[in-house]
Amino acid sequence: MSHFYHLAYIDPGTGSVILQATIGAVAGFSYAVRNRIRGFIAKFSKGSKAEKPSKG
């Protein structure tokens, strides 16, 4: 049984890359959703108060 424990080892470098990729994916997803919601609101709002989504 102890033979399989070494297969689950993640060194600190790999762990930090996985953590960084996870944080980047969450940040990118939240940015994309926020821009979609702002664009949707801007499309249906009547005043100039609504902020247009940024391109970029």
- Residue given tokens 């940024």 in the structure block: 54
Per-residue pLDDT tens for 23-39? Answer: 999 999 999 999 999 99
pLDDT band at residue 19, thresholds of 50, 70 and 90?
A: very high
Contact 27, 40 (CB under 8 A): no
pLDDT band at residue 9, thresholds of 50, 70 and 90?
A: confident
- Other CB atoms within a 10 A radius of the CB of residue 8 amount to 6
Tokens of 4: 């399989």
- Residue given tokens 């391109």 in the structure block: 55
